[in-house]
Structures are given as structure tokens and as C-alpha cells.
Amino acid sequence: MFESLSDRLSGVFDRLTKQGALSEDDVKTALREVRVALLEADVSLPVARDFVKKVQDKATGQAVTKSVTPGQQVVKIVHDELVAVLTGEGDPGALKIDNPPAPILMVGLQGGGKTTTTAKLAKRLKEREGKRVLMASLDVYRPAAMQQLDVLGRQIGVDTLPIVPGEKPVDIAKRAKTQASLGGYDVYMLDTAGRLHIDDVLMGEVEQVSAVVSPRETLLVVDGLTGQVAVEVAQEFDDKVGISGVVLTRMDGDGRGGAALSMRAVTGKPIRFVGLGEKMDALETFEPDRIAGRILG
Ligand code: GDP
């Protein structure tokens, strides 16, 4: 995650910190390089521009250029601005699951990692918070996806709603709700169908399901390797169905990281978790400070 961005930035900052005294022009030149590095990492242009402007405003004051270690001061300002751009409101890992049974709606495009993430989150809720979780697949178009959730459920010891062939997504959602109440579950997670592209049918279906269960959380699962596309997908889902946060998957890959940096600034929605592999434990809460540390190496 962030390897190339991290390499680029450490090149810029190594030069800056070795330089000793810094003029405002030195800082400006370095920040131009930072901007290029951000754009190459697929950070959206307004976000990169705004980021560099904020750093510049703070770094060109007397206090920095006249300080004993101006380079380090600039790095610290960049670090703090990275944390600021990554930070949303509240604790990303704290899901709203009081008032059992609490519905969690998982949405996203096909192949983004939705089913895997549903199971990872269920496992986390079970193991870390001692919650009884019921999972249900609403992907009636892909029987294999329904089976996949079943298989993962057995693997992690979490119940899944029995599959009834021919049932409509909304009816599955209603059945999950009833089953969760009757069965004394704390949480029920609905793994909605994904499509290759956002279309009206997909959105209409998610809206219908959402209206039926009134989810406490609607989490968009999106492939972090897709950069700005991930941000656009989040924006569209938020406009149409309203999301409460984002899970960025495949952050174990050598993605350029732009999605992570642009997401909140562009969509206003926080990243809540990151997927770091195919295994059921490969899910972490999104911690801005740690991510900023990784980016700066
Ligand atoms: P869905 O169509 O959105 O439900 O996607 P799946 O959950 O079936 O995931 C598609 C593929 O991506 C599967 O092979 C998963 O194992 C894999 N996958 C999901 N999340 C991650 C992740 O964070 N890292 C990696 N490397 N692979 C992932």
C-alpha cells in the first residue's frame, strides 16, 4: 500500500531535510513535487491542490524557514495535513449496532470484495464484540455468490439465512429481519447484489431493501486499486442510497493509494475499514495516523 507515493515523497523530503537552511522557494519547489506525486498516486486534482496549498500556507511562515530544522518541520506539517485529510468524524471501527437486531447493509459493485468483507466484518463483530450475527445474501442473480457467503459463514462460525430459490431480494431482507428478531441475533448483515456497472436496477433494488430494513450502517465496499473510480462509485452510491462509510479493499496490493486520500474530501464519507488480503482476518479499521505514517515511510 502506498509504496510508490511513499518512495516519491521520501525522495522529496530527504533532500529537504538534508538541506539545512530553507528558503520559501525551496519549500515551494518541494511542494510542487509533492503535488505531482499525489496526482501520480491518483489523488483527485482539487484534493491535491488544496492539500499543497494548506501545507504551503503553514510552511512558508517565518517559524518554519527560520527554525533550526526546517525540513523536519515541513515533514511534520505534511504529516498533520495527511491525517487531517484522512480523518472523518467519530471512530471508524465503531459500528452502530445498538438496538438489536441491527441491520447492516453491504453495497458495491461486483468483484469489489463485498461478500468477503461481509464475512470479515461478521467475524470481527463476533470475536471482538461478542455479537451474534446473521448474514444473508441478496445476490439472487448469482447463486454462486449466495453459496460463497454460506461457505464463509461455516468457515467463521457465523449463521447465514437459509437460501430459498426464487425469492426476491426485498423478501430475503424481510425474512432476514424476522429471523434476526426471532433468533435473538444482535446484528444482521445483508450482502446485496453487485453489478459490473452502476445501473438503475441495482440502485432501485438497494433503495427498496434499504427502505424495508432501515439499516443502521450502509457500507460501500470498493476496490482501493481503482483509485479515483472508487471515489466516483462512492459518490454515486451516496447520492442514490446514502452510505455511512466506505471499506477500501485490496489495500494489500500495490495500489497507488489515491482513493484513500481523496475519499473523504470528495464524498464527505469516512473510510471505516481497509481490506488487506483474502483471509478472514485481513481487515483493519482505518487509522489516519497509521496511514499517514505509512505514506511518509
Ligand atoms: P464481491 O463480488 O464484491 O462480493 O467480491 P468477493 O467478495 O467475491 O471478492 C472478489 C475477490 O477479491 C475474491 O477472490 C476475494 O478473495 C478478493 N478480495 C476481497 N477483499 C480483498 C482484499 O482486501 N485483498 C485481496 N488481495 N483480495 C481481496
Interval 125-147: pLDDT, tens: 999 999 999 999 999 999 999 99
Is there an atom of ligand 1 within 6 Å of 70 CB? no
Which of 110, 116, 123, 191 to mutate for ligand 1's pocket (most ligand atoms within 8 Å of CB)?
116
Report pLDDT for 229: 93
- Least confident window among 63-67, 226-230, 238-242, 271-275: 63-67
18 CB neighbour count, 10 Å cutoff: 8
Distance CA(78)–CA(137), nearest Å, equals 43
Output the residue whose Cα is nearest ligand 1's atom 12. Answer: 113
Distance CA(278)–CA(116), nearest Å, equals 7
Output the residue whose Cα is nearest ligand 1's atom 14. Answer: 278
Q: Bigger pLDDT: 80 or 17?
A: 80
Is there an atom of ligand 1 within 6 Å of 252 CB? yes
Cα 30 → chain centroid: 29
Output the residue whose Cα is nearest ligand 1's atom 26. Answer: 277
What is the percentage of the chain residues whose pLDDT exceeds 90?
A: 75
- Is the predicted ipTM greater than 0.90, yes or no? yes
**Residues making up the binding site for GTP:** 108-115, 191-195, 249-252
Which of 1, 191, 278, 284 to mutate for ligand 1's pocket (most ligand atoms within 8 Å of CB)?
278
Report pLDDT for 17: 86
Output the residue whose Cα is nearest ligand 1's atom 16. Answer: 278
Is there an atom of ligand 1 within 6 Å of 255 CB? no
Distance CA(259)–CA(42), nearest Å, equals 7
262 pLDDT above the threshold of 80: yes
Mean per-residue pLDDT over the chain, rounded: 93
49 CB neighbour count, 10 Å cutoff: 14
Question: Three-class SS of residue 239?
Answer: helix
Report the nearest atom of ligand 1 relative to the CA of 109.
3
Residue 273 Cα to ligand 1 midpoint, Å, equals 14
Cell of 238: 451516496
24 CB neighbour count, 10 Å cutoff: 14
